[in-house]
Amino acid sequence: GLDRAEAAARAASERVGVLRTDVAGRLATSGGRSVEELDAVIDEHETAVQAAAAATRAADAAKVQLARLRAEADDTERKLAAARATRESAAANLVAAEACHDAAAALVAEHRADFATVDARAKALRAELDAARRLAEAITARGITEERSAFASAALAEQLGNHRFADADAAGAARRGDADRASLERRIKVHDDGLATARGTLDEPGIATLPAEAVDVESAAAAERSALADRDAARGRQQRLAGDVERLAGFARRHAAEVASGAERLAEYEIVEKLARTVAGETPNTMKMRLENFVLAAELEEIVTAANARLRTMSGGRYLLEHTDAVAHRKAKSGLGLEILDQHTGQARPPHSLSGGETFLASLALALGLAEVVTGRAGGITLDTLFIDEGFGSLDADTLAIAMGTLDSLRSGGRTIGLISHVEAMQEQIPARLDVDLAEGGWSIIRQSR
């Protein structure tokens, strides 16, 4: 490690100084010694030189390792900050996705119920489909967030493994403060000075050719074991995350199938709803005509045809009834409208434009036309008796004569016509009458008059 390298450098520097002092002293005092003594001194010096060379090499290696560790520490610090930011962002996205997922699931559960009408069910299915879509989006967002989280975790684990840190806390603990960095700079300078001194010693004759010391592989083996342990831990995390991803993918597939099924049901209900609104005379029915009005319109046309045979005679050929299926104003339903065709002007006009007497004649014609159609539809059964209540008081003499003539023609054809009226002129034309008088006690007295 860095501390051992620096200690070795200091020891080497101190050893070189001691050796140089010793060599200088021995050279100064070598006069008069024997060859054997000088050989012994040389051997001792060679041993010292070898130790100095080993110390110098250790110092060089320590310096290189220190520079590399410093660069790796800076790079690791940057990558660790980026990885932490990515992990925090991924965690926030995951929380948001889970909240969205929970809200969507609650919304889907809330809309699972029975409804009384097609329209209500269709609206509920739309809400359910929207909730399912939001759920699918939340699931997709959650999958993306988890993929980002897994990628960030893998990148962090890779960087930690590359720099031989056990975990993120260990990498954070390895970060040096300003004071520690200044201290390391001073120690590096001392090391550089010692290294320069050692190199000067190594440059001396007889030292440069000395053999190198054996390499210590224990630290490398320890680093390898640590890296293998980190790799196994990362593989375990990867397998767990892969299982989570597979479960979420299955969940997403199931919900996608439910969304597709809900869309199909919604399409079916929309068709039924459209048909129901059309039958009810609502949008998209541009005619605003209910189905029953459509059926009755055909009946009304037949009644109008029968009524016109009477109205043409009673109106002197001026008026005819016409069936119209024009769209009614505002929210009124269409299909059973009537118009009056004025033969004098050649234009159609609304029934309320008729006078009171004309309106009575048109109503009487419709009633007689209805009676004839009902008789024709009843398989030969005839309506032998007709009762007409009021309406005669608003008629002038000519119109009253026309109405009575029409009723007389019916009576002449074998039908019994009952008229309820307070008009004296009309009562005089009725051959058989029933008079209803109010008694003083509050009850009524019926008597026959002729």
pLDDT, tens only, 120-148: 666 777 777 788 888 888 888 888 888 88
**Mean pLDDT throughout 245-272?**
81
Q: Is the pLDDT of residue 311 over 80?
A: yes
Q: Is the pLDDT of residue 306 over 70?
A: yes
Whole-number Å distance between alpha carbons of 91 and 150:
11
Whole-number Å distance between alpha carbons of 137 and 104:
10
Structure-model confidence comparison of residues 130 and 413, the more confident one: 130
281 C-beta neighbours (distance < 10 Å), count: 21
Q: Is the pLDDT of residue 294 over 50?
A: yes
At 320 the pLDDT is: 92
Q: Is the pLDDT of residue 328 over 50?
A: yes
Q: Which residue has the tokens 């104003």?
A: 329
Determine which helix (DSSP H) or strand (DSSP E) holds 416, and give its type and residue range. Answer: strand 416-420
**Mean pLDDT throughout 76-91?**
81
**Could you tell me the two tokens for 242?**
């892969």
**Mean pLDDT throughout 34-48?**
69
Whole-number Å distance between alpha carbons of 301 and 298:
5
In this prediction, what percent of the chain has a pLDDT beyond 70? 79
Query: Which residues share a beta bridge with 435?
Result: 447
Q: Is the pLDDT of residue 200 over 50?
A: yes
Model-wide pTM > 0.75: no
Q: Is the pLDDT of residue 450 over 70?
A: no
Strand (E) positions, 194-315?
none
Reported as a pLDDT band with limits 50, 70 and 90, residue 215 is very low
Which domains are assigned to the chain? 2-277 (no CATH), 291-383 (3.40.50.300)
At 305 the pLDDT is: 92
Structure-model confidence comparison of residues 359 and 207, the more confident one: 359
Q: Which of 172-176, 242-246, 321-325, 328-332 has the lowest mean pLDDT?
A: 328-332
Mean per-residue pLDDT over the chain, rounded: 77
Choose the most confident range, by mean pLDDT, from 8-22, 145-159, 385-399.
145-159
Q: Which residues contact 350 (CB under 8 A, 6 or more apart)?
A: 339, 340
Side-chain half-sphere of 3: how many Cα atoms within 13 Å? 0
pLDDT tens per residue, range 342-400: 989 989 888 888 888 888 888 888 888 888 888 777 666 677 787 877 666 667 777 77
**Mean pLDDT throughout 333-346?**
83
Whole-number Å distance between alpha carbons of 213 and 221:
19
At 110 the pLDDT is: 54
Q: Is the pLDDT of residue 289 over 80?
A: no
Burial class (CB in 10 A: 0-12, 13-18, 19+), 100: middle
**Mean pLDDT throughout 212-237?**
77
Whole-number Å distance between alpha carbons of 256 and 265:
14
Whole-number Å distance between alpha carbons of 101 and 319:
71
Determine which helix (DSSP H) or strand (DSSP E) holds 437, and give its type and residue range. Answer: strand 433-438
**Mean pLDDT throughout 30-37?**
59
The DSSP symbol for 168 reads: H
**Mean pLDDT throughout 29-43?**
63
Q: Is the pLDDT of residue 27 over 50?
A: yes
Burial class (CB in 10 A: 0-12, 13-18, 19+), 280: middle
Cβ atoms of 129 and 262 closer than 8 Å:
yes
In this prediction, what percent of the chain has a pLDDT beyond 90? 1
CA angle, corner 184, sides to 181 and 185, nearest 5?
Answer: 85
**Could you tell me the two tokens for 316?**
């002197």
- CA proximity to 8, closest of 48, 53, 45: 53
Cβ atoms of 319 and 344 closer than 8 Å:
no
Structure-model confidence comparison of residues 356 and 33, the more confident one: 356
CA angle, corner 333, sides to 329 and 338, nearest 5?
Answer: 80
Q: Residue 7, Cα to own-chain centre: how many angstroms?
A: 65
**Mean pLDDT throughout 205-223?**
63
Q: Is the pLDDT of residue 413 over 60?
A: yes
At 308 the pLDDT is: 92
DSSP secondary structure string for all residues of 344-366: TTTEEE-GGGS-HHHHHHHHHHH
